[in-house]
Chains A and B, each alone.
Chain A
């Protein structure tokens, strides 16, 4: 699970994330919704230990973000905003590399890679360099990279941005699978349909602060609106 306590990140005098607090339970999909520049990606970067908090802290899978960053990294699967794949490596080589970084023993890793490539329907392209892949296929490889060590926590930043319907559906199917397997999943998005479809609870972030948290029903009741988009617009406007 994830527990954020007054998490803050400042760049000089500018607060990109300001006193953000929320929990994500195991088996829960938690959506972080917000306009561009609201602080979604910075929050994700803080939780993945790429950035160090200026204030507050968080625990991820029971490990403290500041005290135990390496243990946190071993417990998370991250899908960044941009896939960040090496064009000259194949999907199999990517998974082998990241699996080795997670310390998975050779034979176990090879079997797991075969399974993952099969599940993501990438087995026939396993040895093709990803530079030749479509955005959707690259996103699938990036998701497998996040999943190769079977972590308890997932941080997915705009997981379906720019993808076609079929690719987006296969990503959604994986998120559903993670939930069923009891993983804590945090998704940053500004896609309302996706948030409505996937998320058990949603936090709305604007100008670096969380302005509302709850289930879709709770947010609708609070704003007297009937869909997430209207809820979002009203909260951000207020």
Chain B
């Protein structure tokens, strides 16, 4: 009853705090899609074709220039090679190409090579995209010329490809799921750990600083009831924040794949049991993180001090999440019962549809045990006078 009253008050207070709302809702749902989608949107040549300045020595390269032009490349013919570097550096063009004289006549010959000079600023994303598009178009054009040259000599095209590779993908999930499997454990982990961090600082060190905690300690609620009431709302906020991060992330992924015209964007299919596993792993991670953060924050005398103490905690999830991307499957399995790794592996296994009882049981059981230990420590610390009262 008292725990419920404490939890209800905490929730009401948190929902009226604009900073909690910002950390809980706005950042996860808006920031991820913006971070993921905006660069892709801005750099996308479909929406905004790259500008290529073409300098022709004569009109023998007209056919090549015509083939170069597409919905992704806008060609502008200019005169004078001397200004090209400045024009690219100024951002007027992403690419500058200089076509030699007698271009078509060189290509008509059996063994001559036409050299095209390309000017590009490779530190610019749009410059790199333009270069890549230009090289694709040039390769296509060159392939056509090669076939014509071979035909004249009477050789078949296969003379150029003594070996070819036939790649067959065994990936059972869509490319979207692979993309999510790489990023989702990282972001879910970050939001499970940081989503309620502001609330926890406010409800522990903040309450201590504002002296509301002392008034609460004079009430008949036990300190265990106080910590549990606060803990429940911290977990709820962390879960909401993580859930919204998934929505933001999924939306962002679909937008990014859409922006590149990938048909595989709808490959984000997760079965219900896998979705439940992801929820369970996030819940355990959020509960563990909330317990640890409450223990750390209650020792702080002020909100600011709590911020300084808690901020490095983000690393406990970022380091394993990033490390996981570079580890072999065997190495990851050996970390199945390691804190943080266990919950993140659960999320990854579920996303890649690799979850089995043998995989998930040690991951979940160990994560659950760590959570119980962290919560028990939090309850013990809240029952300690030294942690709770500012002398």
Residues of A within 8 A of B (CB): 11, 45, 48-52, 70, 73-74, 76, 78, 80-89, 93, 97-98, 100-103, 129, 142, 145
- B219 x A84 contact (CB < 8 A): no
- B2 x A70 contact (CB < 8 A): no
Which B-chain residue is minimally distant from A74 (CB atoms)?
B220
With a CB–CB cut-off of 8 A, which chain B residues contact A93?
9, 12
Which B-chain residue is minimally distant from A76 (CB atoms)?
B218
In the complex, whether B264 has a CB less than 8 A from a CB of chain A is no
How far does the Cβ of A214 sit from chain B's closest Cβ, in whole Å? 29
Which B-chain residue is minimally distant from A85 (CB atoms)?
B212
Told that A51-B385, A78-B215, A87-B210 touch, could you supply 9 new A-B pairs with CB distance under 8 A?
Answer: A45-B389, A84-B213, A84-B215, A85-B212, A86-B9, A86-B13, A88-B16, A93-B12, A145-B215
Interface CB pairs A-B, < 8 A, 28: A45-B389, A49-B218, A50-B214, A50-B218, A50-B389, A51-B385, A74-B220, A76-B218, A80-B211, A80-B215, A80-B218, A81-B211, A84-B211, A84-B216, A85-B212, A86-B9, A86-B212, A88-B17, A89-B9, A89-B12, A97-B5, A97-B9, A98-B219, A100-B2, A101-B5, A103-B220, A129-B16, A145-B215
In the complex, whether B98 has a CB less than 8 A from a CB of chain A is no
In the complex, whether B217 has a CB less than 8 A from a CB of chain A is yes
- B5 x A100 contact (CB < 8 A): yes
Of the candidates A51, A100, A102, the one whose C-beta lies within 8 Å of that of B389 is A51
Q: How far is the CA of A168 from the CA of B215 in the complex (A)?
A: 21
Label chain B's interface by main secondary structure.
helix
In residues 237-286 of chain B, which contact A (Cβ within 8 Å)? none
Q: A89-B12, A100-B1, A103-B1 are in contact. Are A48 and B218 (CB under 8 A)?
A: yes
- B13 x A89 contact (CB < 8 A): yes
Convert B213-230 into 0s and 1s, putting 1 for each residue whose CB lies closer than 8 angstroms to a CB of A: 111111111100000000
Q: How far is the CA of A84 from the CA of B222 in the complex (A)?
A: 18
- A101 x B220 contact (CB < 8 A): yes
How far does the Cβ of A186 sit from chain B's closest Cβ, in whole Å? 13
With a CB–CB cut-off of 8 A, which chain A residues contact B385?
51-52
In the complex, whether B52 has a CB less than 8 A from a CB of chain A is no
Of the candidates B12, B216, B220, B391, the one whose C-beta lies within 8 Å of that of A70 is B220
With a CB–CB cut-off of 8 A, which chain A residues contact B1?
100, 103
Label chain A's interface by main secondary structure.
loop
Q: How far is the CA of A73 from the CA of B221 in the complex (A)?
A: 9
With a CB–CB cut-off of 8 A, which chain A residues contact B5?
97, 100-101
With a CB–CB cut-off of 8 A, which chain B residues contact A145?
215
Which A-chain residue is minimally distant from B14 (CB atoms)?
A88
Convert B370-391 into 0s and 1s, putting 1 for each residue whose CB lies closer than 8 angstroms to a CB of A: 0000000000000001000101
Of the candidates B6, B210, B221, the one whose C-beta lies within 8 Å of that of A84 is B210
How far does the Cβ of B195 sit from chain A's closest Cβ, in whole Å? 20
Of the candidates B12, B210, B218, the one whose C-beta lies within 8 Å of that of A78 is B218
Q: How far is the CA of A58 from the CA of B1 in the complex (A)?
A: 29
Which B-chain residue is minimally distant from A149 (CB atoms)?
B220
With a CB–CB cut-off of 8 A, which chain A residues contact B12?
88-89, 93
With a CB–CB cut-off of 8 A, which chain B residues contact A89?
9, 12-13
Q: How far is the CA of A103 from the CA of B220 in the complex (A)?
A: 9
